[in-house]
Amino acid sequence: MANVEDPYNHSHRAFLQAFLAHSVLTFEELKPILAAILSVHDDREILPNDITEPDVSTFIHTLNSKLAPVDYEIRPARSQKDHSTSYVLVNLTSDAVTQLATTHSPDEIAFVKRVLDAMFETHNTHKHEVMAITRMQARHLSKPPRTSVANEDGGTQTQSTAAHGLTLPQAEKMLDDMVEEGWFEKSAAGYYSLSSRALAELRDWLRETYNEMPGEGDDDEAVIRIRNCEACTEIVTVGQRCSNHDCGCRLHDICTQRLFRSQAANTRRCPKCKEEWTGRDFVGEKATKRNGSYRQHGSTASSRQIVQNGLGRDSSEDDEE
């Protein structure tokens, strides 16, 4: 194996070109690329199977030191289901809207933003942290919500926003495009959620957008909708939560296996509050099945959640697709 801790050189530049061409690469895809680069650099054959994840991490660490001044970073994106690793080239100065604006219309971007609000506000409550949405629920977001304004006689008048929104076929195509482009994942049960690539790219934006710091009032509390796994510190949108719903502990399924490996099921305790860890309190689409079908519950809803167009009545339609 080559010395991957060598100072920044042409091999790192060639490695960066691979990311500029593909943006997202899995570890298995990176192995032959890095092996070929190092074979040329070291003037000896390096086989793909000689490349390890620590080798890739060390190589990326050196490369990131050069990318930081221009606000780019290569981040690992780990699957919440099996912890398989992909690597993503991230623009640190752009948000979801900026990145989507290069290939999609303003109405399409507005639709995606409404879908994200539904995932992380409407379907992410104190009792049910679903953070996913069905195709039927997304269809109801094709148009922007109507707003009510006061008229001169003291009554209210419903007005449409200036944006026209999307037709239902356009909204469905946009969902399919988001899956095809790697931003969304679609489960076997028909739920759309953010992909591991999207979570890696948008993690800072998600926290800034959906986590709310306490106000100045004595009774105001922080609202934390985006939480990290207690074991691996990555964002959890699929996994388990503490049976004490006032506890902020969340774990990926695979992380619970590692954390509780040496403990019997009836002795497992939350690593934060020490409450019994049941393994039956879920984060993600499984949360819709906890204690019956998912229903919209009252929560610390922000103004964005209040104006969702018809989502309250559609929360019970989780099983339609």
For residues 265 and 152, give the distance between their C-alpha atoms in angstroms, rounded to a whole number: 64
Answer whether residue 220 shows pLDDT above 80: no
Contact at 8 Å (CB) between 197 and 88?
Answer: yes
How confident is the model at residue 70, as a pLDDT?
94
How confident is the model at residue 261, as a pLDDT?
87
* Cα pseudo-dihedral 90, 111, 145, 213, rounded to 10: -10
For 147, 157, 197, 305, 309, the CA distances from 150, given in Å and listed in that order, are 10, 6, 44, 21, 19
Q: Percentage of the chain with pLDDT > 70?
A: 82
Give the phi and the psi of residue 176 in degrees, each rounded to 5. -65, -40
Q: What is the mean pLDDT of residues 159-173?
A: 81
Structure tokens at 199: 């979570």
Angle, vertex CA 84, rays to CA 239 and CA 265, nearest 5: 40
Nearest to 207 by CA among 91, 120, 99: 120
Confidence band of 149 (pLDDT split at 50, 70, 90):
low
How confident is the model at residue 148, as a pLDDT?
60
How confident is the model at residue 3, as a pLDDT?
56
Confidence band of 222 (pLDDT split at 50, 70, 90):
confident
For residues 115 and 192, give the distance between their C-alpha atoms in angstroms, rounded to a whole number: 9
Give the pLDDT confidence of 104-121 residue by residue, as tens digits.
999 999 999 999 999 999
Give the pLDDT confidence of 90-105 residue by residue, as tens digits.
988 877 677 777 789 9
Structure tokens at 201: 């790219």
Answer whether residue 313 shows pLDDT above 70: no
How confident is the model at residue 87, as a pLDDT?
96
Q: What is the mean pLDDT of residues 252-278?
A: 90
How confident is the model at residue 308, as a pLDDT?
43
Answer whether residue 319 shows pLDDT above 90: no
Answer whether residue 310 shows pLDDT above 60: no
| Type of residue at 38 | L
For residues 294 and 292, give the distance between their C-alpha atoms in angstroms, rounded to a whole number: 6
- Please indicate whether residue 90 or residue 263 has the higher confidence score (pLDDT): 90
Answer whether residue 210 shows pLDDT above 90: yes
How confident is the model at residue 153, as a pLDDT?
63
Answer whether residue 296 shows pLDDT above 60: no
Angle, vertex CA 13, rays to CA 12 and CA 14, nearest 5: 90
How confident is the model at residue 303, as a pLDDT?
41
Confidence band of 7 (pLDDT split at 50, 70, 90):
confident
For residues 24 and 13, give the distance between their C-alpha atoms in angstroms, rounded to a whole number: 16
Contact at 8 Å (CB) between 274 and 245?
Answer: no
Give the pLDDT confidence of 18-34 residue by residue, as tens digits.
999 988 999 999 999 99
Which structural domains are found in the chain, ordered by start? Answer: 10-92 (3.90.1150.220), 104-317 (1.10.10.10)
| Type of residue at 209 | T
How confident is the model at residue 274, as a pLDDT?
94
Q: What is the mean pLDDT of residues 218-236?
A: 90
Contact at 8 Å (CB) between 53 and 85?
Answer: yes
- What's the mean pLDDT when you consider all of the chain? 85
Give the phi and the psi of residue 142 in degrees, each rounded to 5. -60, -30
Contact at 8 Å (CB) between 227 and 236?
Answer: yes
For residues 283 and 66, give the distance between their C-alpha atoms in angstroms, rounded to a whole number: 37
Nearest to 194 by CA among 160, 149, 225: 225
Structure tokens at 279: 């393994």
For residues 66 and 82, give the distance between their C-alpha atoms in angstroms, rounded to a whole number: 31
- Please indicate whether residue 28 or residue 267 has the higher confidence score (pLDDT): 28
How confident is the model at residue 9, as a pLDDT?
92
Give the phi and the psi of residue 42 in degrees, each rounded to 5. -90, -5
| Type of residue at 302 | S
For residues 50 and 26, give the distance between their C-alpha atoms in angstroms, rounded to a whole number: 16
